[in-house]
Amino acid sequence: MNSLQDSQQQAANKKKPKHFNVYVMIFAFIIVAAILTYIIPGGAYDRVDQDGRSVILPETFHYIDGENVGLLGIFNSIHTGMVNGANIIFFVLIVGGAFGIFTATGALDAFIYTLSRKMANKEKLLIPVLMLFFAAAGALMGMSDETIVYVAILAPMAIALGFDALTGFAIVVLGAGVGFTAAVMNPFTVGIAQGISELPTFSGIGFRIILFVILYLAAVFYVMRYASKVKKNPELGEYGKFGRKADTSALNKTQKMTSRHKLVLSAFLINYIILIIGVLKYGWYITEIAGLFLLFGVVMGILGGISFSGIADNFILGAKDLLGGALIIGFAQAILVIFNTSGMMDTLLYHASNALGMIPAALSAVGMLFLQMGINFFVPSGSGQAALTMPLMAPLSDMIGVTRQTAVLAYQFGDGISNTILPTGNIIALLAIAGIGYGKWVKWFLPFFLIQIGIAIIALIIAQLIQYGPF
């Protein structure tokens, strides 16, 4: 067993830290929602169809006799929520399965290993080039949990080059993190949030590309500034479980890029080119996007030399990895089922719009950002959070003068920025791989966390001023 496998096995053997179970948390929210049906009166707005989307008529609110939800209704709402969220749930599972086939070809791992080896002798390019790759993966593939294996590679390599484990860790985690936050074409966050908000899929991409560049450059500067300090004074470094002399044998023994790997990566790139054309020119939605990913998943499996049975097996494994997040979508929809059945949804919209209507729309968008960050503590799944919050945020944004696209932007910032600091996410597992304490990470990361919030606030204000849309 090589050192990479050793490090993964050691991390797996460690006792997992206690954390909130998101299903228990959401089920508690479902119960609270059911109780509120006996307290909060039902209400209703008249709605009209405007350019293919449902829009509330603000002056038409009136109270109604809402339906109270009993014990059986609580459990019925979960099934109904699963049915209502089926299109999103199956989208997540199909795209996850396609990524499972892609990962099984080994092309992604081979590319990262090859890139890491070539960069090992070019220290000045190491950080920006590798961070660009991980940022692109976060922005296009929603790379998050998958970064665990690469932390085990980059952390010891960074130490061997005269940096420390924290530098290698940050290359992976901050790189993927800022890409996930910018979410240029992240199907699991922006794709779902825009669909729920009735926005064209991946619309507003130009503004997100600008944000991607800004966040990426800020992250590179932050990591390189720290790495140069460690290079000059190694005593300032954090070496985690690897020590000052890290073993990089796993990197040296890694397979090289083969012709099959190159074909698979080419197919993956073509998939995204066709996706962009389909979305921008033909208005593709999640059905077409899921179909495209499934088609190219099979193609990449064949090009990667995987048997048909192997393709099917790896599709199931890829879908299995995202099953938890997909089910969260259904549970989150159960809360909305109760809200809509009882009429509480419109009552909440009425009172929220009255409260937020007193402040400028740009500041309301900033308020949405911090609300989404708070919700992410309890619902660390990006797709689950979109399913829970956007059915409320989209119509609310219409009523308070915030564009729906800006509301989606507030969601993606709130979700992405907090992912790399909240202990309820996957950051604890990532830190365990590197042997870095959570407290040390928070102390190191906090200034950049605040920088990202500053960028987000400015971006949201600009988005509202330019009426970031199409609506």
Residue pair 254/108 in contact (Cβ under 8 Å)? The answer is no
Distance of CA 360 to the CA centre of its chain: 29
According to the model, what pLDDT value does residue 353 have?
87
Which stretches within 142-204 are classed as H helix?
148-160, 165-182, 190-196
Nearest to 467 by CA among 414, 405, 413: 405
Per-residue pLDDT band at 213 (split at 50, 70, 90): very high
Distance of CA 166 to the CA centre of its chain: 22
By three-state DSSP, how is residue 64 classified?
strand
Per-residue pLDDT band at 405 (split at 50, 70, 90): very high
What's the rounded Cα separation, in Å, for the pair 384 and 322? 11
pLDDT in tens, 350-363: 888 888 878 888 88
User: What mean pLDDT do residues 265-280 have?
Assistant: 91
DSSP state of 144: S
Token pair recorded at residue 194: 């825009």
According to the model, what pLDDT value does residue 11 have?
44
Residue 246 has pLDDT above 70, yes or no: no
Name the phi and psi angles at 235, rounded to 5: -65, -20
Residue 15 has pLDDT above 50, yes or no: no
Nearest to 183 by CA among 141, 120, 219, 153: 141
According to the model, what pLDDT value does residue 412 have?
95
User: What mean pLDDT do residues 145-167 have?
Assistant: 83
What's the rounded Cα separation, in Å, for the pair 59 and 46? 9
Residues in the chain: 471
Lowest mean pLDDT, pick from 201-210, 280-289, 411-420:
280-289
Residue 315 has pLDDT above 80, yes or no: yes
pLDDT in tens, 16-67: 445 567 788 889 999 999 999 999 999 999 988 877 778 888 889 999 988 8
According to the model, what pLDDT value does residue 157 have?
83
Per-residue pLDDT band at 181 (split at 50, 70, 90): very high
Highest mean pLDDT among 5-14, 108-117, 162-171: 162-171
According to the model, what pLDDT value does residue 356 have?
81
Residue 5 has pLDDT above 70, yes or no: no
According to the model, what pLDDT value does residue 7 have?
44
By three-state DSSP, how is residue 42 classified?
strand
Nearest to 422 by CA among 19, 114, 3: 19
Concatenated DSSP letters of 342-401: HTHHHHHHHHHHHHHTTS-HHHHHHHHHHHHHHHHHH---HHHHHHHHHHHHHHHHHHHT
What's the rounded Cα separation, in Å, for the pair 440 and 344? 43
Amino acid at 261: H
Residue pair 251/153 in contact (Cβ under 8 Å)? The answer is yes
Residue pair 289/187 in contact (Cβ under 8 Å)? The answer is yes
According to the model, what pLDDT value does residue 37 have?
93
Nearest to 461 by CA among 422, 414, 403: 403
Q: At what angle do helices 323-342 and 71-84 cross, to 10 degrees?
A: 120
User: What mean pLDDT do residues 158-174 have?
Assistant: 89
Distances from the Cα of 111 to the Cα of 218, 257, 263, angstroms: 25, 6, 12
According to the model, what pLDDT value does residue 248 have?
58
Residue pair 297/101 in contact (Cβ under 8 Å)? The answer is yes
According to the model, what pLDDT value does residue 4 have?
40
What's the rounded Cα separation, in Å, for the pair 144 and 294? 21
According to the model, what pLDDT value does residue 250 have?
55
Mean of the per-residue pLDDT values for the chain? 87
Residues 6+ apart with CB under 8 A from 235: none
What's the rounded Cα separation, in Å, for the pair 285 and 287? 6
Lowest mean pLDDT, pick from 67-71, 115-119, 440-444:
115-119
Name the phi and psi angles at 17, rounded to 5: -65, 150
Per-residue pLDDT band at 118 (split at 50, 70, 90): confident
Token pair recorded at residue 411: 């969601």
